[in-house]
């Protein structure tokens, strides 16, 4: 082998190893193939091909062209770098596939050694041993793959992982044609059971909510899009997000849709919200939730130039009920009071247990006269209601009310409004209980 334009003896010939094709980069393969195919026109790969005698054996030899040197230098560097990386991984104490890595290292090192032997004149009859060595290394590579079951385990493992996923996975091309789906996707979307691979998802008759969510997910990859099927207690909630499936070179070959059932998560969130905002015994708002909604209701009354009233009330002699009939009867009295109030209240009115036997009402749109009328109706209904204990005794429920009103559209301070309602409640207690008292309007 000689470099173009130079005739050297074997000790000074340029070493250009011939690596396995797996080490070639795609661009190098393409360019080298073009140079070899068109070599008769430019002679940049093989400058000259000729016969020579060596030890009574006639061999074919050649003179290297410029691109042969470029190509050989690149592939030599790739081979050496590959060998270094394999050896580094082989020296790791926790590294797996040790026998396979040794086989791969030998598959890289043997062609290098064979080329070096050829360069030093150690090969029989000056024949390049690399092609024969590549047959051996190919067998080593085949053993490494088959010994590790890479060709059989990986596809099965990927299929097993996909089918066992809790999330539904749909693979579609750029035209919404279904390419694949897993068991969870078919469970979450029963319409997929009749789907045909290659058929359009648009033809499956998916609910409008699902189709809209799919389009939104495809428009915003990576962003979870929620949607629901059904209404009320039968509603099932989902989230879907998409990812692009690339073909290489930045081209999109399709879409991956990941679908998950979030009903349980949503129900847990709603349960936590109820626990944080509702009274555990009565099921109405607790003090914190009531206060959080008060400012907004007062601001709305100011904007709409309407009055707003607040009523604070509690059960008279509640401690006597607990001490005489037991705490179970006391709880029943609180529940009965809530039941009576709910029958009189309208949408938009806030009702909360303020603490112990105390309750509070925020009544947007009601003036002083109207709030007294409503409170009196509740008081009378509670007094007429009969609460029978487990041992057959009748408990009468009586309550005292204190109300305060903000005039039409006036800016009101929450604390001042509450203070006035509280003073009115104390006045009702002092005047004999079981009555309604109204504070002077703000």
Tokens for 427? 């006045």
Confidence of residue 330 (pLDDT cuts 50, 70, 90): very high
Contact 321, 329 (CB under 8 A): yes
Tokens of 56: 């009574």
Indicate whether 159 pLDDT > 50: yes
Give the per-residue pLDDT at 10: 33
Give pairs for 93-101: CB < 8 Å, separation 24+: 97/144, 97/148, 99/144, 99/147, 100/144, 100/145, 100/147, 100/148, 101/144
In order of 97, 100, 106, 141, 146, the CA distances from 149 in angstroms are 11, 11, 20, 12, 5
pLDDT reading at 365 higher than 80? yes
Query: pLDDT: is 21 or 160 the higher one?
Result: 160
- Over the stretch 306-323, which tens digit does the pLDDT of each residue have? 888 999 999 999 999 999
Give how far the C-alpha of residue 143 lies from the chain's centroid of Cα atoms, to the nearest Å: 41
Instruction: Decide: 320 and 433 in contact? Cβ < 8 Å.
Output: no
> Is it the case that residue 24 has pLDDT exceeding 50?
no
Helix (H) or strand (E) holding 362: strand 358-364
Q: Say what the pLDDT of residue 410 is.
A: 66
pLDDT score of 39 more than 90: no
Does residue 2 carry a pLDDT above 70? no
Phi, psi of 393 (to 5 degrees): -85, 150
Q: Is the pLDDT of residue 53 over 80?
A: no
pLDDT band at 134 (very low <50, low <70, confident <90, very high): confident
Length of the chain: 442
| 55 or 303, which is more confident | 303
Domains in the chain with CATH codes:
2-148 (no CATH), 163-265 (3.30.450.20), 278-438 (3.30.70.270)
Fill in the DSSP letter of residue 25: -
Residue partners of 118: CB distance under 8 A and separation at least 6: 126, 128, 129, 130
- Arithmetic mean of pLDDT, 182-187: 88
Encode pLDDT of 382-415 as tens digits: 999 888 877 888 888 999 999 999 886 666 667 8
pLDDT tens-digit readout, 240-298: 999 887 655 555 668 889 999 998 888 888 888 888 889 989 999 999 899 888 888 88
Residue 333: count of CB within 10 angstroms of its CB: 24
Mean per-residue pLDDT over the chain, rounded: 82
Sheet holding 178-181, edge to edge: 178-181, 168-173, 251-261, 236-248, 225-229
Q: Is the pTM of this model over 0.75?
A: no
Higher pLDDT, 341 or 123: 341
Burial 196-215 (b: 16+ CB within 10 A, else e): eeeeebeebebeeebeebbe
Bridge partners (DSSP) listed for residue 271: none
Token pair recorded at residue 34 = 């073009």
* DSSP state for residue 439 in the 8-state scheme: P
Helix (H/G/I), strand (E/B), else coil: 323: helix
Which of 192-201, 289-298, 321-330, 371-380 reaches the highest mean pLDDT?
371-380
Q: Which of 82-86, 231-235, 353-357, 372-376 has the lowest mean pLDDT?
A: 231-235
């Amino acid at each position: 082998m000689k470099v173009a334009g130079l005739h050297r003896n074997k000790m000074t010939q340029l070493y250009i190893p011939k690596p396995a094709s797996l080490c070639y980069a795609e661009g190098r393969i393409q360019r080298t193939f073009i140079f070899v195919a068109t070599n008769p026109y430019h002679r940049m790969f093989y400058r000259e091909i000729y016969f020579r005698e060596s030890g009574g054996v006639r061999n074919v030899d050649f003179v290297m062209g410029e691109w042969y040197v470029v190509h050989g230098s690149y592939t030599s560097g790739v081979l050496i770098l590959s060998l270094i990386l394999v050896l580094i991984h082989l020296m790791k104490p926790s590294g797996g596939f040790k026998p396979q890595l040794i086989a791969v290292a030998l598959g890289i090192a043997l062609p290098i050694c064979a080329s070096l032997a050829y360069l030093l004149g150690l090969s029989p009859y000056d024949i390049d041993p690399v092609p024969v060595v590549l047959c051996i290394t190919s067998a080593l590579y085949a053993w490494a793959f088959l010994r590790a079951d890479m060709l059989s385990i990986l596809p099965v493992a990927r299929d097993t992982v996909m089918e066992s996923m809790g999330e539904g996975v749909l693979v579609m091309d750029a035209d919404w044609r279904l390419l694949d789906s897993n068991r969870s996707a078919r469970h979450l979307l029963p319409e997929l059971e009749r789907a045909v691979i290659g058929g359009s998802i648009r033809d499956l008759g998916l609910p409008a909510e699902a189709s809209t969510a799919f389009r939104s997910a495809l428009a915003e990859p990576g962003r979870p899009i929620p949607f629901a099927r059904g209404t009320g207690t039968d509603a099932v909630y989902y989230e879907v997000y998409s990812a692009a499936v690339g073909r290489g070179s930045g081209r999109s070959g399709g879409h991956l849709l990941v679908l998950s059932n979030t009903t349980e998560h949503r129900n847990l969130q709603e349960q936590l919200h109820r626990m944080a905002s509702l009274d555990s015994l009565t099921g109405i708002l607790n003090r914190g939730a009531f206060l959080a909604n008060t400012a907004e209701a007062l601001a709305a009354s100011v904007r709409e130039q309407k009055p707003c009233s607040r009523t604070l009330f509690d059960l008279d002699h509640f401690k006597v009920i607990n001490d005489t009939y037991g705490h179970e009867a006391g709880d029943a009295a609180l529940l009965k009071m809530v039941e009576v109030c709910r029958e009189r209240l309208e949408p938009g009115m806030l009702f909360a247990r303020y603490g112990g036997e105390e309750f509070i009402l925020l009544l947007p749109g009601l003036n002083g006269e109207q709030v007294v009328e409503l409170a009196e109706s509740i008081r009378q209904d509670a007094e007429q209601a009969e609460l029978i204990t487990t041992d057959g005794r009748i408990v009468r429920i009586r309550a005292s009310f204190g109300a305060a009103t903000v005039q039409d559209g006036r800016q009101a301070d929450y604390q001042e409004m509450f203070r006035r309602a509280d003073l009115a409640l104390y006045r009702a207690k002092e005047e004999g209980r079981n009555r309604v008292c109204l504070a002077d309007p703000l």
